[in-house]
Amino acid sequence: MMSKTDRWIGLFFALFSTYVCAESLRLGLGTFYRPGPGFMPFYAGIVLGVLSLALVSLGFFRNPEEGASWECWGRILLVVLALFGFMLLLERLGFLPSAFLFICFVLKVVERRGWGFSVGVALLVAVASYVVFDLLLKAQLPAGLLER
Q: Binding residues for other proteins, per CB under 8 A?
A: 1-3, 5-6, 9, 13, 17, 20, 23, 27-28, 31-41, 44-45, 47-48, 51-52, 54-55, 58, 62, 67-68, 70-73, 75-76, 79-80, 83-84, 86-87, 90-91, 95, 99, 102-103, 106-107, 110-111, 113, 121, 125, 129, 133, 136-142
Burial of 62 (0-12, 13-18, 19+ CB in 10 A): exposed
Q: How many residues in total does the chain contain?
A: 148
φ and ψ of 3, to 5 deg: -125, 175
Residues 86, 80: Cα–Cα separation, whole Å: 10
Residues 17, 52: Cα–Cα separation, whole Å: 9
Nearest distance from residue 44's CB to other proteins, in Å?
Answer: 4
Closest CB to other proteins among 31 and 148?
31
Closest CB to other proteins among 62 and 146?
62
